[in-house]
Amino acid sequence: MSALYDLTVKDRSGNDVSLRDYEGKVLLIVNTATGCGFTPHYDPLEAMYKDLRDKGFEILDFPCNQFANQAPGDAEEIHSFCTMKFGTEFPQFAKIDVNGDNADPLFAYLAKEKPFAGFGKGIKNAAFKKFADMNNKSFGDKAYIQWNFTKFLVDREGRVVARFEPTTDMADVRKAVEELLG
């Protein structure tokens, strides 16, 4: 049994949700923000969710305001933005911290299972890393997540099998999800 399923998170209303509720499903767990340059990732995420949820796929969305204050609203404002602008239907949870002393245990666990391995190659990604490092320097060894829209892929047994930084092409994320679903 995976330790992932022992964790509990909060829904948008602050109620406890056991990750055991998602046992046996393929999960894509994402920290998000409404005012980020990667916010358009909601479109391919929602398309993937609509196409694959009947095959046992779930996306778990965790808004986070730790990266340049790009998710400033409360839970309902964020949810309204996502549903009206992107038509999102996948579960969105309470806004959390993913870094620092108050990091949600879920993201600390995910990042320990699949640590940061870089944003990829190229000048653009190197420049982005410098920007992210400036933001995250105050978290020291508790800078688990480097930026918004980091995605963790979890198999049906609760194993964290992949980590996708926001710079990863969403087509590659979808391909990995589809391969895992069989």
CATH of the domain at 149: 3.40.30.10
Q: Point out the catalytic residue in the list 36, 132, 154, 173.
A: 36
Task: Report the length, in residues, of the chain.
Answer: 182
Domain span at residue 71?
Answer: 3-181
Q: Are 71 and 42 in contact (CB under 8 A)?
A: no
Residue 36 appears among annotated catalytic residues: yes
State how far the Cα of 111 lies from the Cα of 175, in Å rounded to an integer: 21
Q: What is the full per-residue pLDDT of the chain (182 aa) written as tens digits? A: 579 999 999 999 999 999 999 999 999 999 999 988 899 999 999 999 999 999 999 999 999 999 988 888 888 889 888 888 899 999 999 999 999 999 999 999 999 999 998 888 888 788 888 888 888 888 888 889 999 999 999 999 999 999 999 999 999 999 999 999 99
What total number of domains does the chain contain? 1
